[in-house]
Amino acid sequence: MRGEPLMMLHCAPPYRYDHPNAALGYLKGFLEPLGIPVKNVYWNLILYKEIMNWEERMASSHPVFLKLDAFYTTATYVSKYLLTKSRGFTKTPFDTFFSSFLTEEEISGLIASVKNKIDWYIKENNLHKVEYAGFTFKTQQWLMNSYIVSRLKEINPDIAVIIGGITNQDQAKRFMRVFPQADFAIWGEGEYPLFHLVEALKEGEDLKKVPQLVYRDPDNVSTYQSQEHVTLDEYPFADHSDYFPTLRQFVPENITVFIPIWGSRSCPWNKCKFCVDNEDYQYRTRSPENIVEEIRFQSEKYNIDTFAFVDSELPGNKNRFKTLLRHLIQLSAERNEPYQFFGEISPIFLNPETVISLRLATFLGIQIGFEAVTDTLLE
């Protein structure tokens, strides 16, 4: 569906710039066929030049910085600075690190360039004029997104701000208390709750019918239980059509883009104390056939042959993993040109047979997930 967007979903630094945002892509792919026009806003691309200016300064100060993930480090610091500089917070190691090669005036100038770019883009593209603005508060994205939320609310106090990327009900309530600019919070899988919320707001219906929602009524935080989820194979494929024009406009370098593929939701382990990806909802998987069909679809649509599985743990179980690898090998053979993949895999699924299959499926790399070095962390 095309036309003026009813909702804008925001992806912020330090989310990596060579991946379309998986969550936003799948939400857009789900909502638009249901009559809700969505535009995904990629601040990690829009602010690429400003953030990379910091990287150049870091690299010129000492060659060791060439080995660091400067985009991630710098984006996190800029976000933290935007939130805390005016509030008199005590200096952190981050401040000490950046002040070792930048003067206070230089830091202020670089921060000002980020602020100016944000304000310019908001007004130039009328981001403040849409009905609904959605923000992921997953991991460090909440830092920059919090600042962007505050700017949108200052420009248009009536814009409805919805936050997601939240694990559970308790976390959603905490975010709502900490961020008064947020009007609604959704936890867990967001497709159906977000759709029902927008429909309820459009029709003036009771918000009690909206699952997995925390809202202010008008000053109290209220919660309602989640609904049943449908089979993942029934969901539409992700829509990343907003990513590529933004990439071409703001990132001058020729980079390799990895399209993210969600083959499952939550995690089959889902119990490691140390892991920030633990979710409080049920682990579910897509069929290998459905996954391969999306890879074929995305490759043909965007002329991309590099993919990153963003599952917490790719295999799921041994039989499913074996079937998926067989389909991936066949997929490359059908077009006489290999696709290239990346994924996260527990070492319990690695044996001589699967290693050979991973090579034949042309996995560029895998991240080995060692669950813990001590059993107490798994309890």
Q: Each residue of 338-364: pLDDT tens digit?
A: 999 999 888 888 889 999 999 999 998
The neighbour count for residue 183, using CB atoms within 10 Å, is 17
pLDDT at 169: 86
pTM: 0.90
* Cβ(262)–Cβ(310) below 8 Å: yes
Cα separation of 291 and 330, whole Å?
Answer: 13
pLDDT at position 1 is: 43
Q: What is the pLDDT of residue 287?
A: 96
The two three-digit tokens of residue 215, written as one number: 């809202």
- DSSP-assigned letters across all residues of 75-87: HHHHHHHHHHGGG
Bridge partners of 17, per DSSP, are none
DSSP string, 128-142: GGSSEEEEE-STTHH
CB 265 within 8 Å of CB 281? yes
Question: What is the largest distance, in Å, between two alpha-carbon atoms of the chain?
Answer: 60
Instruction: Give the H or E element holding residue 368.
Output: strand 363-368
Written as six digits, the tokens of 84 are: 């805390």
**pLDDT on residue 225:** 65
The encoded tokens of residue 338 equal 């290999």
Composition of the chain by helix, strand, coil, percent to 5:
50, 15, 35
Question: Which residues of the chain carry a pLDDT beneath 70?
Answer: 1-3, 59, 61-71, 85-90, 218-229, 270-280, 369-379
Across 278-293, b (16+ Cβ under 10 Å) vs e yields bbebebebbbbebbbb
236: burial class by Cβ within 10 Å (0-12, 13-18, 19+)?
Answer: middle
CA–CA separation, 232 and 264 (whole Å): 8
d(C-alpha 270, C-alpha 28), whole Å: 27
Structure tokens of 161? 């701000």
